[in-house]
Structure 1
Amino acid sequence: MTTSTLSTFLLLVILFHSTNAAVFTIRNNCPYTVWAGAVPGGGRQLNSGQTWPLTVAAGTAGARIWPRTNCNFDGSGRGKCQTGDCNGLLQCQNYGTPPNTLAEYALNQFSNLDFFDISLVDGFNVPMVFKPNSGGCTRGISCTADINGQCPAEL
C-alpha cells in the first residue's frame, strides 16, 4: 500500500500495553474532518492528521469504532451527523446509525485471544485500515471501497 493511498483512510492501530488494557490510536488520514465514534469510549472530532488514543479494558467484547461524517455539534455535545450518528451525541453511548464502516473488536476472549475485523454490515462511509502494532502481530486489514454493491442480492 502506498503512502498516497493510505492518506485517504481512517487508521486504527492497536497497541497492547498489558493484559489489563489496550490502546487504540485512531488517526484521521482523510483530507476532511471525521468524528470518530466508539463504544466503549465516546467520540471525538478528528481533523485531518489528528489522533485520538483510546484506552480499552481487557475483556471488552462487542466493541466498535466507526467514522462519522458531516457532523455539527453545539457546546453541550448535541447535534447530528450525516453518517454514523449516535443519537445526536458527540460522546457516543450506543452504536452509530448506518451507513458507517465498522471496526469491531473483542479483547482477551476465547483462549485469551484478541479478535478484530472491519465490517460493512452497517454500510460504508469512510475507507479504513485496522492493524495491530505490538505483540508480534503487525498484519492488518483494510477496506478501501464500498463493496456492498458487488454482493449477490441473496446476501
Structure 2
Amino acid sequence: MTSSSVFFLLLACFATCGSAATFTIRNNCGFTVWPAGIPNVGGTQLNPGGTWTVNVPAGTSGGRIWGRTGCSFSGGGAGMPRATAGRLLLLPLRAAPATLAEFTIGGGSNHDYYDISVIDGYNLPMDFSCSTGAALRCRDSGCPDAYHQPNDPKTFSCNGNSNYQVTFCP
C-alpha cells in the first residue's frame, strides 16, 4: 500500500469514524434500572450507582435511550429475562410510559441533535446533556425541557464528536 493510499484511508476513517458519540448512562436511583436503546445501543442491568458506556456510530438517526424498572430475570413472565440487544428490541417501546432521551448523531453540518420526550409518558427523572450543549432536565411528567407534543420546539444541537451523559434519578 502506498503512502498516499494510507493517507486517504486514514482521512476516510477520521471523516466517518470521528463523529461517533460516547454515551455514559448513570443510575443515581436507589433501585435497579434496565436502560435500553435503539438502534445500535442494546441494553443492560444497571444497579444503583452504576454506569454503562456505549458508543453510537455516526449517521445514527432516531436514536432513543430509556430506563425500565421492575424487570425480572426469573419466571419468563412479562419481565425482561435477559438484557441483550435482540431481546430488548422485541420489547415494545410504548408498552409502558417511558421518559426518552432522543438523539441523531451526525445530523448534518457536523452537528448532533438531542432532546427529552415524554410524549409516550413519563416513568423516571432524567438529565440528558451533551459536552458542548445545553443540559436538559426532566424531574416529573410536566418537565419544561421535554417534548410533550410532537410539535414542541425542544430539539437542541450539539457539536459533532461530543460526549453525552444520561442520568436516571439525578
TM-score using structure 1 length: 0.70
Partner of 2:83: 90
Aligned length: 123
1:146 aligns with 2:137: no
CA contact (8 A) 2:19 2:106 kept: no
- In the other structure, the counterpart of 2:118 is 120
Structure 1 residue aligned with 2:78, among 80, 97, 103?
Answer: 80
Structure 2 Cα separation of the partners of residues 138 and 101 of structure 1: 20
Cα distance between partner residues in 1 of 2:60 and 2:30: 31
The one-character-per-residue Cα deviations of 1:20-41 (angstroms, maximum 9, x if unpaired) are 4111000001111100011121
Q: Extract unaligned runs of 5+ from structure 2.
A: 1-16, 149-170
Q: Tell me, which stretches of 5 or more residues in structure 1 are unaligned?
A: 1-17
Deviation at 1:138, TM superposition (A): 4.7
Matched-pair contact (CA < 8 Å) for 2:99–2:122: yes
Identical counterparts, % of pairs: 43
Give the distance between the partners of 2:129 and 2:77, measured in 1 at CA: 31
Aligned-partner Cα distance in 2 for 1:132–1:73: 33
Q: How far did residue 89 of structure 1 move?
A: 5.6
Q: CA RMSD in A?
A: 2.6
Instruction: Return the offset for 1:43.
Output: 0.7
- Runs of 4+ aligned structure 1 residues displaced above 4 Å come to none
* Equivalent residue runs for 1:1-155 within 5 Å: 19-40=18-39, 41-74=41-74, 80-81=78-79, 90-91=83-84, 92-93=88-89, 96=93, 97-133=95-131, 137-147=132-142
**SS of the residue 1:73 aligns to:** coil
Question: Which structure shows the higher strand fraction?
Answer: 1
Distance 1:20 1:110 in 2: 11
| Residues in 1 aligned to 2:102 and 2:119: alpha-carbon distance in whole angstroms | 11
